[in-house]
Amino acid sequence: MTIPRLKNTALSLPLIASALFMGCGEDPIPPEDGDFADEASAGANEAGSKEPDVGVGELDPGECIAKAKDGEDGEAWGYVHQCGGRWWGRIGFTFEGTGLDLYVPSIEGAVDFGDGHESYLETKVMACCGQHDPQLTIDDQPTYAENCMLDLRQQVCRSISEALGAAIDSGELPSLKPVVEVQHWIATHIDECIDGLVDTDDSPKSLKAKWEIPQAGTPWDDSNQDVEDVYIEIFLSLVNDLYRPADLSENEICTSLMWNNGNLFERGLPSTGSGMDATLESGSGVLLGPPVGSATPLQLSTDFGSLGTACTGLECSKLSLSFDSSASTWSLDELRLILEPRLVVDVGGQTLVIEDAQVELYGDAQGQMEMTQGSSEYRVLAGDVQFIVRGQAGGGPVMLFAHSSTDLVATSDSAGGWELRPFELLYTEAQGDAWTMTVGATQWL
């Protein structure tokens, strides 16, 4: 992300946002939301009903929508149903004559999703439908299975785009212009990806597909480029469960299959060790960046969503750890720091608003357990933790990758709480300027 040293401070907000928070051509970019051809993916379970006329208001049982339907008379809405199942896929291409594969979630195999694998509020794959019948299996409610599969294709395409960006950032894949252009192209062609993953399985509950991306019109449609034969493949996907809270008041409302677009699949398999989850009691951080249009470095302070800020649900910062005491190892499985919902910063004399920002561990991070002065310390070395920054700025989405520039150390207390000692994240622009976020000591319960 190159920050221009502009003498003219009369900058447009889109330009400021682009310069500050959206990266430059060398950075991965966030995946777009998907789109769907029809407002309704299926209707009541009637044979031959392909494009049902879903009315406004609450969807009837058996009715589902993929794309938002609103008009002069109002909008159609349903309830978020959490789809359960498993999937495994990859993106592959040839670079300088060598075949490269990036498996998601892992080369080691598939990952499960749904109730029991993530919380309802963090649903990975959803159906947006009228109330299902919990007494029936998903086999007897094929409309819901089909809607789940539509969302699964969208989530696969968006997750693979983000995973490709993370692999480029970490150095697992070459951080070179032709490879970055593949990530950019997929991130901005989610619709084509959804349509390209043509189901070769007749069952509404499963999907097997391979999209061999046509080269014409892509950045690699050039004899001088080193990238060829790009494809996205789903080896295995299955939907076998459907869940929503029994209490209707606890059901989330949806108007399309976009409700869960922030809940993507990350690379890596869930830990099998014993673990714990905790919510932040209190904490804050400071973002420091290089000057923009003046000699004053940018500085922005924020409190994190916590019990101290009376957070609820996904407004709360979260920590998850797991342990293997026999091997003296531990895993940082989740660390999500929720920034204040609306941050305002002065840049070059103009006000920029940053909304819904969070700093989140990407994948997991492995560390060692050590004994220090009679107590256990859980340490991950500097550089071994990859974070992703998400949010909205200047009317557009944010996605930047940062790395721990100091050791990350966790300790436990006698009451069962946890402390993360102060640590620092670092993002370095293509031209070398550094952005840092210093996270103060945080207490977790």
The pair of three-digit structure tokens given for residue 432, joined into one six-digit string = 């070398």
Contact status, residue 79 vs residue 253, Cβ threshold 8 Å: yes
Contact status, residue 338 vs residue 317, Cβ threshold 8 Å: yes
- Strand 365-372, strand 350-361: pairing: unpaired
SS3 12: coil
DSSP string, 50-90: SS----SEEPPTT-B-SS--EETTEEEEEEEEEEEEEEEEE
Alpha carbons within 13 A on the beta-carbon side of 183? 27
Q: How many CB atoms lie within 10 A of CB 409?
A: 17
Give the type of residue at 437. M
- Strand 74-95, strand 57-58: pairing: parallel
Q: For tokens 């370095």, what's the residue?
A: 428
Q: What does the pLDDT read at residue 290?
A: 82
The pair of three-digit structure tokens given for residue 94, joined into one six-digit string = 């040839």
Q: How does DSSP classify residue 340?
A: P
**CA distance linking residue 308 with residue 327, whole number of Å:** 36
**CA distance linking residue 120 with residue 83, whole number of Å:** 10
Q: For tokens 């990530």, what's the residue?
A: 183
Residues 6 or more apart in contact with residue 70 via CB below 8 angstroms: 56, 76, 255
Nearest to 185 by CA among 68, 67, 91: 91
φ and ψ of 321, to 5 deg: -130, 155
**CA distance linking residue 164 with residue 173, whole number of Å:** 8
**CA distance linking residue 66 with residue 9, whole number of Å:** 44
Q: How many CB atoms lie within 10 A of CB 304?
A: 24
Contact status, residue 183 vs residue 28, Cβ threshold 8 Å: yes
**CA distance linking residue 359 with residue 302, whole number of Å:** 12
- At 145, which helix (H) or strand (E)? helix 142-170
**CA distance linking residue 78 with residue 65, whole number of Å:** 8
**CA distance linking residue 318 with residue 360, whole number of Å:** 9
Q: What does the pLDDT read at residue 42?
A: 52
Contact status, residue 237 vs residue 208, Cβ threshold 8 Å: yes
Q: How many CB atoms lie within 10 A of CB 313?
A: 11
| pLDDT lower than 50: segments of the chain | 1-19, 22-23, 44-51
**CA distance linking residue 204 with residue 251, whole number of Å:** 25
**CA distance linking residue 151 with residue 11, whole number of Å:** 39
